[in-house]
Structure formats: C-alpha cells, structure tokens
Structure 1
C-alpha cells in the first residue's frame, strides 16, 4: 500500500461519508483487541491434522509468519499469514486452508483499516509464495466478501511482500480476482518486526510412461 494509494482511499471514504470509512473514530487497535486480533504473532495452524499413517509426511506447501512493512512515514502496516496445503492435496492448490490478516494504521496504535479472512489457494516455488483468500471480517464494508491476493519472498534476510491491489487503488478493486493471483513482492519487511517462512511446493510433475 503506497502512501498515494492510501491517500486516494481515505479521500474517497471521507467524500462518501459511509460506514466503510478508512479512519475509525475508535482506532483499529481497539477494534483488533475487541475482536481477538493479535497482529504481533501468526495465528495457529488451521491445516487438517495428518492421519496416523501419514504422521511423518511433510505438508505440500505453506506460508506462515507475521511482519511489518518498511515505511519512511509513520504508517504501521502488518501482514500475517498461516496458509497450508496438505500433503494429500498436493495436486490441487485451491484446497489450501488457513488464515490471513492485514492492518494499515496511520501510526502505531493509531487509526486505519484492517481485514482478515480464509485462504482459498496457495502455490509456492522455492522460497516464493502466492496465496489468495476471501475477506470474512473487516472495518471496510466495501471489501468484505472479496478475494485478495498476496505474494511473499522468503529471502532469509529482508523478506518482501506484494498484494493484489497494489496497482488498482485498494482491496475493493479485486473482488473478481482469480485464485492464486497477486503482484510481484515489491515491498520489504521492516527490520526486526518479524519474518515469513515459505515451504516449497512439491510440484506433481508428470512421469514418463
């Protein structure tokens, strides 16, 4: 979320004076606490437990972790992922499960927007992951129920993050987004705020007959 993008969204919300205004009078920090949100650590895994005969089998792919984005302003932007593709679903990334959250405040503890939802697709290649999910709860009513996408590059140092609305002004512009679609990971993680872990996908390559 660039500063220009956020300015456009804020201006539009103020002009329309609707309940989906980006700036909340109570502040997102209070809303997050009231709704049980904790943006300081990743959520617990929602992946289906392995059966006894597959106890040692590695899951097909995963994207986990939480971190804040680097900003030169006071903005406080956090992404959290807990996405998993079970071993038995290796051939179908759309069977991925898990959760995502993102929060964008004007300053730490200040006002802004937040959203969380369920993962509906996950693909990883090496240390790069692309995931999508449906927003199930947010303080921005215009984006609830829409699909958003994320891309993460787990560099082992300064990770990078991208999101599907980077070029369209806001998450409300991606409601018809196809599964597992996002932008290049153009943003970088703020040092010391966390990191992300990507488990490479075991691609089901066809075998010669």
Structure 2
C-alpha cells in the first residue's frame, strides 16, 4: 500500500467512528441576562458500537450563535471535538466552529480543525449533525462515503445515522429562530 493510501486509510479509520473527549470551552461570551442566544449545541456522548468492539468514540460540543448574530449562522463561535481510540491507539481532533444552524432538536455545526494528532486533518473543515432525542441522541459526520477528502462547505452535515451509547447522550440543541421580515 503506498504512503498516500495508508494516510487516507488511517484518517478514514480514525474518523469513521470518531468521537470527542469531553466538551471544549467556547470562546463566546455568555449572553446578557434575559437575552436568549440565537442557537446553541452543547454536550457530550459516546457512540454505540456492539460488543466485542473496543472502540472508545466520543464527541463533545460547545457551539453558540449570539442573539445579535441571529441572521448570520456563520457568526457562530465555540469549538467541538472528537476522539476515537481502540485498544490505546487512535486520535483526536478539535475544530473551531464556523457555522451553526439548528431547527427543532437537530443541529448542524461545521468547523475547521485546529488541534489534532492526525496531521491530515489539520485545517480541514468538517460537518457534524446532531439529533437531540433526550438520552437516545443520534449523530452524523461528513467524512463518510468513498471520497473522505471532499471539501465540506460551511453549514453542511450528514444525516444523523449513528446512535450514542445508552446513558451517555446529553446533547442539548437550542432551536434557531431566524429573523424573518413580516
């Protein structure tokens, strides 16, 4: 297997079931008292894998759209992270949020990876979709399919096809209320 194929295979294997070790700290200030932020996605969860899988896959989110940025989802701030380890090997990535769109209990967040131990991920934009189902949460990510090197535009994620491990899903989605003109 050539070097490029090995790198792609490692990155795909690492991220095809990726997760995050805890929620990251957002860089956005707390909203003023009595002011509701426009949208948010927070929380952590471990992905479900059937036994005997030894995968430890965790995702964590701390993404916010301030009230004054209600009309611009690309003004969202914060971070999200994931990690995927199997028997002590694997990796992690942390992305800076560049878009957050929510509707009902579904959130799509995109961001550019700025911290990782997988060099092929550095500066890559990824998208993640979360469905907040109150402990039975679901999640989908943009690095599925044949071309895992495809460029992901802001505000784009995939269907939430993964399920979280029972008892670990604490995602919380604050629905976006876009400013429509009457």
Task: Quickly name the TM-score band, shorter chain normalised.
Answer: 0.7 to 0.9
Match of 1:132 in 2: 110
Q: Distance in 2 between matches of 1:192 and 1:12?
A: 41
Match of 2:176 in 1: 201
Match of 1:179 in 2: 154
Distance 1:76 1:14, change over 3 A: farther
The unaligned stretches of length 5 or more in structure 1 are 1-10, 23-37
Using the TM superposition, give the Cα deviation of residue 113 of structure 1 relative to its aligned residue in structure 2, in angstroms: 1.9
Other structure's SS at 2:54 match: coil
Other structure's SS at 2:171 match: strand
Structure with greater proportional helix content: 1
Quick check: 1:42–1:82 contact (8 Å CA) kept in 2?
yes
Match of 2:17 in 1: none
**Counterparts of 1:1-209 in structure 2 under 5 Å?**
16=6, 39=21, 41-50=22-31, 54-72=32-50, 73-107=53-87, 110-168=88-146, 170=148, 173-174=149-150, 176-207=151-182
Q: Distance in 1 between matches of 2:143 and 2:5?
A: 21
Quick check: 1:66–1:81 contact (8 Å CA) kept in 2?
yes
- Matched residue pairs, number? 171
TM-score by length of 2: 0.85
Structure with greater proportional strand content: 2
The unaligned stretches of length 5 or more in structure 2 are 12-19
Quick check: 1:14–1:21 contact (8 Å CA) kept in 2?
no
TM-score by length of 1: 0.75
Q: Distance in 2 between matches of 1:60 and 1:15?
A: 42
Q: Which has the larger radius of gyration?
A: 1
Using the TM superposition, give the Cα deviation of residue 115 of structure 1 relative to its aligned residue in structure 2, in angstroms: 0.6
Which whole-Å deviations, capped at 9, do the CAs of 1:141-170 have from their partners, x for residues lacking one?
Answer: 111101000000001130000001122464
